[in-house]
Structure 1
Amino acid sequence: MRLLALALACLTAVPVLARADTITHATSLRALETGDDTRGWQAVGRLDLGHGSFCTGTLIAPDLVLTAGHCLYDKRSGALIDAREIEFLAGWRNGRAEAYRKVSRAVLHPSYHYGGPVGVKRSEFDLALIKLAQPIRLPQLQPFEVSRSAPYRGEEVGVLSYAQGRSEAPSLQRNCSVLERAGATVVMSCSADFGASGSPVFSFANGRPEIVSVVSAKAEMGTRPVSIGALANGVADLRQAIESRDNVATTREIRAGGAKFIKAN
């Protein structure tokens, strides 16, 4: 399997015309532009990172948002983003969110390494949990469950994302599939573009959407556009680390803007 991978990182939130090949690949995406469309999906939101950039994040507990680890880094300097510049816009659609929350601290998976060449290896454990300054407790914003099982090759999955050219409303793709498993990552036929980092990948095997992966990068398999996702079964380690201030045996704390960022050694 030969993959040419491209980091999704985050996207400057200005209107950008999609390339023709991007438009072709995204035809199976459905924009959720009305209240009826987004019902049940509002726990997915836009994660604004400051300076007009963003990723996608998902509420998995009233005060916890799951996203990609590399979203917490400034792609120009390689430094962690100041917590004061991060805001979660739950259910963001057409200029309005169901809830707005600032961030108190965040944790990266201890096995994730930001440096190094972009590719499947770099996408391994590309996970982060963000602790909100205040929990979101609204009946329409029910956190999504994280599956303890990894998706199998050939399994049909779906992705909900914000991305280049579609930053003002989420788009849903339900008919993509897992092409390969590689270490702690999956390669999928799902559409991905800049800004889609951190998007939840859902399995519907149990009759309800459960998160099985988080979008990390877009890539090409031959001439075929694909996406790479970090397996979500590492989230249990992140929950333990972020909910226990004493559990820092394999991490070091970085204080930024009064918030705690915990970075792997």
Structure 2
Amino acid sequence: MRSLVCALLALTLAACTGSAPESLSKTEAPGAIYNGDTREDVSTSSSPEKELVKATAVLVHSYRLAQAQNSVVKLNSTPLEQLYPLCPDEKFLTQPTLGFCSGTLIAPNLVLTAGHCVENQKDCNDSHFIFGWTEEKSRQGMLPSSEIYNCKSIVKFDLNIRKNIDYAILELDRPVPGVRPAKIAKEVLLKADQTLLSLSHPLGLPVKKDYARVLSDIPEMHTFKVQVDTFSGSSGSPLYNAQGEIVGILSRGMDDILEDDIYRVQKEGGCINFNACAVGLCFGQTYYKAPRIDL
């Protein structure tokens, strides 16, 4: 993990600003994007985080998978630009959306995710996992059935919103070969402005990385706050410290898109930008402290 440590220590947050003139997202509100959308595509072959990318899973519902011939599965994905009337300056518009949550391989046949992603055995039966689903891999539009894993059972689960507890450990139908499971940190030692690595599948897109900035951590709490560009679909995704250990999993965050904007587009035309937080309203995303899980 030495290369990952070096990469994290050298991080700077790149900022991108500006919206298309026809954008309707002008409301000042808490948002899911901070200092411009800094998400990036990653690769399983060249990035310093490649082993962690391989251990990252997109969770997929059964209806998204269609059995083709010769043990090949067709992925019933939807291009991002077809989900919402997004403005042309948004990222990843032509990439496919496929999943509903994110997770991480923490043992050869175990996945860590958020509890609200898979709450019961019925949810488990309808959940499937693809590891290392990068933008390059998504271009194929299909995968060998051997690369798709099924949820067998819920090994550990706790979802208590009042107490800010939100995690699940799921057993796969078989071990995942050739992937090194990620490790959960033994404890959370966070400082304000500390940088952490996020790997997730925002809106079900191929895996993206971003660098999170710690806003606050109260030792007695089960959760902590960071500024990082995550969306629905990122739930259950990991945050890594400089040692490549999981310190948190995404539990909840701010709204990606404002419903008022969708209504205005339907009524007046135009397009939507994702919801960037206004100054003074950047409250951060909420992560459950992974070391609190009783393994």
- In structure 2, the residue matched to 1:68 is 114
CA contact (8 A) 1:69 1:108 kept: no
Question: Retained in 1: the 8 A contact 2:196–2:239?
Answer: yes
The reply on whether 1:137 has 2:177 as its aligned counterpart is yes
**Match in the other structure for 1:84:** 125
| Letter paired with 2:160 | H
| 1:28-47 to 2 correspondences below 5 Å | 28-32=38-42, 35-37=45-47, 39-40=50-51, 41-47=53-59
> Once superposed, what is the RMSD of the aligned Cα atoms?
3.0
C-alpha distance in 1 between matches for 2:287 and 2:170: 18
Aligned to 2:199: 160
User: Kindly, what percent of the aligned residue pairs are identical?
Assistant: 23
Residue 213 of structure 2 corresponds to residue 176 of structure 1: yes
Matched, 1:56 2:68: no
- Find the residue that maps to 1:48 and give its secondary structure: strand
Higher helix share: 2
- Compute the TM-score of the two structures, normalised by the length of structure 1: 0.66
Q: Which amino acid aligns with 1:129?
A: I
Deviation at 1:211, TM superposition (A): 0.1
The structure carrying a bigger strand percent of its residues is 1
Matched, 1:224 2:285: no
What's the counterpart of residue 234 of structure 2?
Answer: 196
Task: Give the whole-Å Cα distance in 1 for the aligned partners of 2:34 and 2:247.
Answer: 26
Contact map agreement 2:100 2:232 (CA 8 A) in 1: no
Q: Which residue of 2 aligns with 1:10?
A: none
C-alpha contact (below 8 Å) 1:67/1:199 kept by paired residues: yes
User: In structure 1, what is the Cα distance between the partners aligned to 2:217 and 2:246?
Assistant: 17
Whole-angstrom distance in 2 between the partners of 1:215 and 1:108: 17
CA separation of 1:149 and 1:210: change in aligned 2, threshold 3 A = same
Question: Match of 2:154?
Answer: 106
For 1:174, the aligned partner's letter is Y
Aligned equivalents of 1:202, 1:223: Cα separation in 2: 25
Equivalent-residue separation in structure 1 for 2:148 and 2:197 (angstroms): 25
Code of the aligned partner of 2:285: S
Distance 1:173 1:89 in 2: 20
1:67-92 deviations in whole A, cap 9, x for unaligned? 0000014xxxxx76433211111111
Match of 1:213 in 2: 248
**Residues 153 and 180, structure 1, Cα contact 8 Å, conserved in 2:** yes
Query: Which secondary structure does the structure 2 equivalent of 1:69 belong to?
Result: coil
Larger mean CA deviation between 80-89 and 188-197 belongs to 80-89
Contact kept, 8 Å, 2:33 with 2:228, in 1: the verdict is no
Which residue number in structure 1 is paired with residue 167 of structure 2?
127
Decide whether the 8 Å contact of 1:45 with 1:58 is kept in 2.
yes
Gaps of 5+ in 1: 1-16, 74-78, 115-120, 240-265
- How many Å apart are 1:183 and its aligned residue? 1.1
Q: Determine which structure has more spread, i.e. the larger CA radius of gyration.
A: 2
SS of structure 2 residue aligned to 1:233: helix
Taking structure 2 as the reference length, the TM-score comes to: 0.60
Q: Which runs of 5+ in 2 are unaligned?
A: 1-22, 65-98, 255-276
Deviation string 1:83-142 (CA, Å, 9 cap, x unpaired) is 3211111111214669321111014444x326xxxxxx45x220100101101121xx11
Q: Is the 2:115–2:157 contact (alpha carbons within 8 Å) kept by the matching residues of 1?
A: yes
Q: What is the CA–CA distance in structure 2 between the aligned matches of 1:234 and 1:180, rounded to whole Å? A: 14
Cα distance in 2 between the residues matched to 1:126 and 1:212:
14
